[in-house]
Structure 1
């Protein structure tokens, strides 16, 4: 290419580049000026005098903050007139239609607005009327007559508007689907400083619950009908429909279920309830992994078949594996009237335990029938049961003892908590009693009772106190034949920290089958008493530090000296539940110990 051609291109190219750079610079400068302008507009601060009511002052400030004003224009009379007009608009909904205001700008560019509210408009007359069947409904009429503005009150338009909305919502939630306001009017007589209110409601007819209409598989029809908290022809209530939806979703049979009224399909005054549902899979499997100081790593494998038949019977099974314990359980459940809180359960289980800190082994086979029931909206849970227990164990100086027991039992549990995972306030109490007789299928006479409880309280959102305690006793004619699983032990994460799991107990000298040496083993006691107090302080959103003291014993002698411990730790409030880590110092009559404790999951 000729040199002259190249030289002829250089000047235009340079010109183009220069123009581009100038364009970018102008855009950047404009953006900076815009940001400065916006910053100056929003830098205005207001001091409001003459207004004492918080809601009224907040409304004035909200209106003023919406003004788009530059600092340089603060002393402009036109702008100050706009401030005065804005204040007048802000106070009018609260009855002040004759207000005045003055504006003063300080040296620091603070705008001082002094408001004179003057005399407000007072309610002179309130005319209310119900047309339709709602007039004969005591609850509807009481709600309608609950309009809070009375003659002589200062006019408050937010109260007036809020009442109209809330009355409309109340009508719909109680089956008045044709409700509307036939007439509403707010007459302002500024010269007389008066306001007249007119409210005429047309309630229309009240609709009733109609038939259930199923969308999807209807094999759950019988179950759903048993969960229905209303009868066909009963007056409609959104609260009962909400309870119905909650019961369906808590039943365990469905992945998704929605019950809603279909007003457009009403037959007369009966509104059908459409139930749209998606069943859970035929078989559901679950794997969970955890760890604790007492058991070490642990794995649970679960299987459930939520639908065995159209009557809602279900079956499930779990396999639990940890270093000291392995177990298999199966549960066949038959729902009664209230499916989620009222059922019969038949359980079978096998358990093998080899405690790592002793030479004790036990092998247990159990069969049980339970009748669980709980009243609606009650925290009390009841469980009547009968259990067949056959346990073979090697404990103390007894070699391979087998005990069979038939144990009728009853337990009552009270539990409340504000959250399923991270609990700030909660209560838990349980009493359990079981008994067996040697002339009714058991090898020995035995009565066992346990009382335990825990209270959690949080103060000022940062101070958390938990108190826990447990008492237990066994009465029998031959304690040597009481199975290991029924005896009392203390020590471990959920008992007296600072000691190994089940370490606190009466002991006996036994021969270790692996080494042949004589060792001292914990063999369990007749009585149990433990107590714990813990204080935790929240140091960050999901972190707490804690300090505690535990005390207790498992013994055959009520005069035994209590073992106790002190320690500290921290809680991490993870998305899957709290992780609690403690270091504890244990004090026993004949030893002092250190122990690290790791726990995952909620306390209740």
Structure 2
């Protein structure tokens, strides 16, 4: 006869395995049970799963109070026995959660076997008493899970009609559990969550599973599961109320909310609100809360609850490079200068600038350090978001610097004013005015310049995380004309474009393919008239790893002089080995060219390498080792790079 057992409820299944803690104890790092005494009954615990899979033992360890409390000795024999008896139903439930519905569990306490449905408390307590003060009580959990049952039928019914949903209403791919899969309770719980998420994404904010009926058929070693689902009404977004953060102008906050009342409801839309509002630096937390019922217009009111960050921040960092020497950086920022989320940031740095272009630190002359040997930068940036409550932001910046790199030296001062219009959370267009005056020196000679331009930049970013993207696309394209009629000493137009894309190959984003390409071109002006710091260079940690910074460009002798065009790119496979450790094989390629467009018939330099990632809550810490594949004379065989965040 087919026995159909109806299970009252299914839990979420076993949690993280306790085996790691056993391993620590075996190595002597974990806590051990106390020694026997006249007032306590410590015990030694062993678990025998009769050769069952590791998941069965892990479930027992997670469910067992004997396992969890083994370093605490009960004060009386009957306390220890009751602790063991309380484990029996919990262990059986844990094995049922994995689909082992014929599981048999016995707990042997001091030689007395305890089983469900039997009362041997007094006999076991007497056996425990014999160990008082002389030895730990031996306890052995013996579990025979038996065969693992599988799903036979999974029914998902509309609670309103009692009929199955149509494929248009609920595609089969949503319910990931399917006939023949192990009948684990975690699979049922996951299916319920996926069904609710699906209906919520289709605009049903109150979707819920109203009942769950799993039925086990022992002769067939199978389970049928019936889920009744109430989708609830379809709703649009209602009024969006902003509260909290009283020192931040809420009109500015609303300018970062792109969803509007009347838009279709979905969790994706609410997450978009949270993500976009979180871009305001003055805010430390953004919580999105839904109303518990629809309003009189059949819409769902939304509440945006804010908390503020500390207004001021100050930081100092020190760097050292075997090529460029020491550098010290400092910054100060105010994240809410006038109460409208304005950000003012002051930055300064000083570093060893050296005396000879292109020479590494160890061959520079050893004269006494002079003031002229020091380089530095000082500047500020100011952001006023949400001008007059609109989606327009004001950006103002200025910088003065004296720098000397591998390719050139420059002294400059300049300022820029821009207006940025945010079309959405993913795209914006920026236009402004930029003026700069300076002097550069390189192997081509010295250029004293004045540039006044009109920078125009389009940005698109649909990635999910700024420092460690797993999905989406990034694109930045800019063009800046510097016409002579505005006062520029060299008439030219600088165009740049950078694009990257990211593909997660699995649901948990443990395997990611990432690709990047960069292009640049300068139209107008002769190479020797263009300031060195505006020419294009490739090579280094942000470009082609394995080659020295700025070294991949046209050269005079051994000195790079920069080019009028650029192409470079990278391909990476980002593989998570554990939750915190990852490896990244990569290939980079690139070159700058003297002509205004890349000459692809000329050699392009290629490098390959392997990276190590340590993932933190802030972002991955990056270590990359790269080697040139077609090196030139003088290129080093290996280069090492360390940083925070992915390389692109």
Asked whether the 8 Å contact 1:253–1:279 carries over to 2, the reply is: yes
Q: 1:116 to 1:482 in 2, by over 3 A?
A: closer
3-state DSSP class of the match of 2:540? coil
Retained in 2: the 8 A contact 1:226–1:338? Answer: no
For residue 453 of structure 2, what is the aligned residue in structure 1?
407
Q: Residues 94-133 of structure 1: matches in 2 within 5 Å? A: none
1:396 corresponds to which residue? 443
- What is the CA distance between 1:234 and its match in structure 2? 9.0
C-alpha distance 590-233 of structure 1, shift in aligned 2 (>3 A): closer
Q: Return the index of the structure with the highest Cα Rg.
A: 1
Gapped runs of 5+ residues in structure 1? 1-21, 47-56, 83-107, 131-141, 150-155, 189-194, 510-519
Conservation of the 8 A alpha-carbon contact between 2:500 and 2:516: yes
Asked if residue 335 in structure 1 is aligned to residue 376 in structure 2, the reply is: no
Distance 1:570 1:165, change over 3 A: closer
Match of 1:346 in 2: 396
Residue 603 (1) aligns with residue 608 (2): no
Answer yes or no: is 1:385 the counterpart of 2:455: no
Structure 1 stretch 424-433 or stretch 311-320: which is displaced more?
424-433
Distance verdict in 2 for CA 1:202–1:470, change over 3 Å = closer
| 1:556-575 deviation digits (Å, cap 9, x = unpaired) | 59488426354544423253
TM-score, with structure 1 as normaliser = 0.61
Distance in 2 of aligned mates of 1:562 and 1:218: 57
Deviations 1:468-511 (A, max 9, x none): 443332222443321111112233233344433222333448xx
C-alpha distance in 1 between matches for 2:159 and 2:503: 48
Kept in 1, the 8 Å contact 2:418–2:433? The answer is yes
1:554 aligns with 2:593: yes
CA deviation digits over 1:344-369, x for unaligned, max 9? 312212222112x45x4211222212
SS of the residue 2:377 aligns to: strand
Unaligned runs of 5+ in 2: 1-34, 54-94, 119-141, 162-167, 176-182, 216-223, 354-374
Structure 1 residue 387 displacement after superposition:
1.5
Deviations 1:246-295 (A, max 9, x none): 4433322222344546769x999999866654333343323455567776
The answer for the alignment partner of 1:530 in structure 2 is: 568
The 5 Å alignment of 1:12-411 reads 24=37, 31=43, 35=45, 39=47, 42-43=49-50, 61-65=99-103, 67-68=105-106, 209=238, 212=241, 214-215=243-244, 217=246, 219-228=248-257, 243-258=272-287, 260=289, 276-289=305-318, 298-324=327-353, 326-336=376-386, 342-355=392-405, 357=406, 360-376=408-424, 378=426, 380-396=427-443, 398-399=445-446, 401-411=447-457
User: Which residue of structure 2 lines up, in the alignment, with residue 542 of structure 1?
Assistant: 581
Q: What pairs with 1:436-455 in structure 2 (closer than 5 Å)?
A: 436-455=482-501
Query: Could you say what secondary structure the match of 2:423 adopts?
Result: coil
> Does the CA contact (< 8 Å) of 2:158 and 2:230 recur in 1?
no
Contact 1:179 1:204 in 2 (8 A): no
Say whether the 8 Å CA contact 1:586–1:594 is kept in structure 2.
no
Q: Distance in 1 between matches of 2:473 and 2:229?
A: 49
Higher helix content, 1 or 2 = 1
The answer (yes or no) to whether the contact 1:364–1:390 under 8 Å persists in 2 is yes
CA 1:571–1:290 in 2, change beyond 3 Å: closer, same or farther? farther
Shift of 1:343: 1.9
Distance 2:504 2:240 in 1: 46
Partners in 2 of 1:489 and 1:473 — Cα distance? 11
Q: Aligned residues, how many?
A: 501
Report the CA distance shift for 1:343/1:295 in structure 2 as closer, same or farther (over 3 A).
farther
Give, in whole Å, the separation in 2 of the partners of 1:415 and 1:300: 29
CA contact (8 A) 2:258 2:424 kept: no
- Compare the two structures and name the one with the higher strand fraction: 1
DSSP-derived class of the 1:250 partner: coil
Q: State the distance in 2 between where 1:205 and 1:369 align.
A: 46
Choose 586-595 or 246-255, whichever is displaced more.
586-595
Alpha-carbon distance between aligned partners in 2 of 1:490 and 1:185, rounded to the nearest angstrom: 61
Distance in 2 of aligned mates of 1:341 and 1:66: 65
Distance (whole Å) between structure 2 residues aligned to residue 332 and residue 177 of structure 1: 43
User: In the alignment, which residue of structure 2 is the partner of 1:139?
Assistant: none
SS for the counterpart of 1:403 is: strand
Q: Distance in 1 between matches of 2:154 and 2:445?
A: 92
CA contact (8 A) 1:251 1:339 kept: no
Report deviation, 1:600.
0.8
**2:614 maps to which residue?**
573
2:478 to 411, 428, 432: 432
Output one character per residue of 1:77-122: Cα deviation in whole Å (capped at 9) or x when no partner. Answer: xx9999xxxxxxxxxxxxxxxxxxxxxxxxx9978679999xx999
Shift of 1:404: 1.0
User: What RMSD over aligned residues (CA atoms) do the two structures have, in Å?
Assistant: 6.0
Distance 1:179 1:80, change over 3 A: closer
Contact 1:215 1:274 in 2 (8 A): no
1:68, CA displacement in angstroms? 4.0
